[in-house]
Structure 1
Amino acid sequence: MSSPSVLIVGCGDVGGRLAQQLLGLGWSVSGLRRNVAALPAGVAGIAADLENPQWPTDWPLVAPDYLVYCVAASQHDEAGYQAAYVQGLKHVLGWLAERGQRPQRLLFVSSSSVFAQQDGEWIDETAATLPSGYSGQVMLQAEQLALASGIPASIVRLTGIYGPGREWLLSQVRQGYRVTEEPPLYGNRIHAEDAAGLLAFLLKADAAGRALEDCYIGVDDAPAPLADVVAWLREYMGVTHWSEQQRVRRTGSKRCSNARARALGWVPQYPSYKEGYAAILAAQP
């Protein structure tokens, strides 16, 4: 029996980590991105611009067993989100349809921005999705497109991704970043390696014949107030000064649960921000 094959559309940071994890398991991996030279070794490159409806000339002749749509918008406005998440997905689904290709499952990587809760409440995959911002609204539109594609699909709503190269908060704390403590501004995080690990886990589960839900939240075990995270990082890094300005994050405050993914057997490598940030800092010179 041959190993499964997967096409990762948007094979960047998280997608590249996923590719490396699956290659290590013996999977056949193709990666679609503009610059295929940036793909991890061992990934078959497909050079394409998702904003261009023209079929990529190096599209695989044989349908991949799995399709992972894991793109990042290059333009952070509504038009950019529409191009990346809605139009791009339409183009990929069209390329598959033109060749009569139907993967066994589609994983669409979405965002917790589809949730609008602001009062620190716990939420899971069944919580209401009534986003007021364009990012969450466009993501919901793309999610519906994936679920209506005719391909069995699961949505993976990732929370705040951090990791090597995603160190904005560390930089801010070093500058004396201030946040208000009351009311607590709860944030949700997942290490980039765990984000890729969850996607790999779901693919492996499906390949093993396990039934998947149509939605999973990708988050670690410990949503925490931003003030607590900043306080821990200040102590860990030995930062003693404060900036003159107090900055308050204006987005929603909520606590996302990973119970559904854990019930399937997934366990994050970095269960909280403490383990994740400690690993990042330990790797720095």
Structure 2
Amino acid sequence: MTKNLLCIGYGFSARALTQVLHPLGWSISGTTRSTARAEDMLTHQVTPILWPGENLYTALTEASHLLISAGPSAEGDPLLNAVDLTPYDFSWVGYLSTTGVYGNHDGSWVDETTPLTPATQRGQFRVEAEAAWRATSLPVHIFRLAGIYGPGRGPFSKVRNGTARQIIKAGQMFSRIHADDIAQVVAASIAQPRPGAIYNLCDDDPAPPQDVLTYAAQLLDMPLPPQVDFDTVEMTPIARSFYSENKRVRNDLIKSELGINLKYPSYKEGLRSLLDLES
């Protein structure tokens, strides 16, 4: 099998996947709009492709596998808008979507068969992008990601600098996923492709956001962040919109079909690992 992965939108999740695939002999390339990011990619043996650019077409021709993590807009998916993919031949295509496509379920459980009723414009864009990718003749696999965290992306800095707040909204639940678990699920799908598959990527322990901050403060042996009421606290519109979706996400399919054993089955293991990385 040719092992050449092209990532459209080389970001946090793609970097974690690179760490899994490089030791297996994969060549990785990825698009970015940032020259600084391109230089950083080179230091990690990832071939950068400045978007948009003519070398994108060469990369598409050379790629055996394609991962899309660039977000859509009102105009649709950026790659589908830019390129006719009909001439290209991929063994596997992965699309990183979001559990936001399910919308609000008042804390109830959702799985991959739950109807898509997004509560935000961002979620609606993702629903439309998923449909556009599935309408192609490509071997597409959809990954619906919960809230992503990992090295450099966690609550510790806000707890330490005193800007963390426990935003209290009764009954609010969020699901999460560590970047390393995203990487192992995507790698497992590449090894066991099933075109048309849809997978939820989340851990086993949906939890209120204040519980995560409380645990982070306890790990740091610092005072708990102050509690504030969701209805009265000042928040950006995009931050407030996340609270419009209240659900718990099931992850049974990645276990039964892909044989996944999560490295971080809850935020507790995940936060402890992030703190260990600092020592």
Same fold (TM over 0.5): yes
- How far residue 200 of structure 1 moved from its aligned partner, in angstroms, is 1.4
Note closer, same or farther for the CA distance 1:32–1:87 as it changes in structure 2 (3 Å cut). Answer: same
- How far residue 185 of structure 1 moved from its aligned partner, in angstroms, is 1.3
Q: Aligned partners of 1:160, 1:101: CA distance in 2, in Å?
A: 32
75, 79, 82: which one aligns with 2:74: 82
Equivalent residue for 2:47?
A: 44
Q: Is the 8 A contact 1:29 1:44 kept in 2?
A: yes
Say which is worse superposed, 170-179 or 156-165, in terms of deviation: 170-179
Equivalent residue for 1:115?
A: 102
Q: Aligned partners of 1:61, 1:253: CA distance in 2, in Å?
A: 38
- How far residue 275 of structure 1 moved from its aligned partner, in angstroms, is 0.8
Say which is worse superposed, 231-240 or 12-21, in terms of deviation: 231-240
Note closer, same or farther for the CA distance 1:220–1:57 as it changes in structure 2 (3 Å cut). Answer: closer
Q: Is the 8 A contact 2:166 2:209 kept in 1?
A: no
117, 125, 128: which one aligns with 2:112: 125
- How far residue 155 of structure 1 moved from its aligned partner, in angstroms, is 0.8
- How far residue 26 of structure 1 moved from its aligned partner, in angstroms, is 1.0
Say which is worse superposed, 28-37 or 129-138, in terms of deviation: 28-37
Residue segments in structure 1 that go unaligned for 5+ positions in a row: 74-79
Residue segments in structure 2 that go unaligned for 5+ positions in a row: 232-239
Cα deviation digits, residues 183-223 of structure 1 (max 9, x gap)? 321111111121122111211222xxxx3552111111211
Q: Is the 8 A contact 1:63 1:103 kept in 2?
A: no
- How far residue 22 of structure 1 moved from its aligned partner, in angstroms, is 1.0
- How far residue 14 of structure 1 moved from its aligned partner, in angstroms, is 1.1
Note closer, same or farther for the CA distance 1:155–1:93 as it changes in structure 2 (3 Å cut). Answer: farther
- How far residue 65 of structure 1 moved from its aligned partner, in angstroms, is 1.8
SS at match of 1:45: strand
- How far residue 41 of structure 1 moved from its aligned partner, in angstroms, is 2.7
Equivalent residue for 2:205?
A: 222
Q: Aligned partners of 2:183, 2:219: CA distance in 1, in Å?
A: 27
SS at match of 2:73: helix
254, 262, 266: which one aligns with 2:260: 266
Q: Is the 8 A contact 2:18 2:28 kept in 1?
A: yes
- How far residue 57 of structure 1 moved from its aligned partner, in angstroms, is 5.9
Equivalent residue for 2:236?
A: none
What residue identity is the alignment partner of 1:281? L
Q: Structure 2-normalised TM-score?
A: 0.84
- How far residue 227 of structure 1 moved from its aligned partner, in angstroms, is 3.2
- How far residue 63 of structure 1 moved from its aligned partner, in angstroms, is 4.2
204, 216, 221: which one aligns with 1:233: 216
Q: Structure 1-normalised TM-score?
A: 0.82
1:1-285 map, 5 Å: 2-34=1-33, 35=35, 36-39=38-41, 41-49=44-52, 55-56=54-55, 59-60=58-59, 62-71=61-70, 73=71, 81-82=73-74, 86-91=76-81, 93-94=83-84, 96-97=85-86, 100-167=87-154, 169-174=155-160, 175=162, 177-180=165-168, 183-206=170-193, 211=194, 213-243=196-226, 245-247=228-230, 250-264=243-257, 265-284=259-278
Note closer, same or farther for the CA distance 1:201–1:244 as it changes in structure 2 (3 Å cut). Answer: closer
What residue identity is the alignment partner of 1:89? L
SS at match of 1:186: coil
- Residue correspondences, number: 262
- How far residue 29 of structure 1 moved from its aligned partner, in angstroms, is 2.1
Identity %: 29
Q: Is the 8 A contact 1:202 1:212 kept in 2?
A: no
Note closer, same or farther for the CA distance 1:61–1:179 as it changes in structure 2 (3 Å cut). Answer: closer
Note closer, same or farther for the CA distance 1:213–1:148 as it changes in structure 2 (3 Å cut). Answer: closer
Say which is worse superposed, 255-264 or 241-250, in terms of deviation: 241-250
Q: Is the 8 A contact 2:147 2:176 kept in 1?
A: yes
Say which is worse superposed, 15-24 or 153-162, in terms of deviation: 15-24
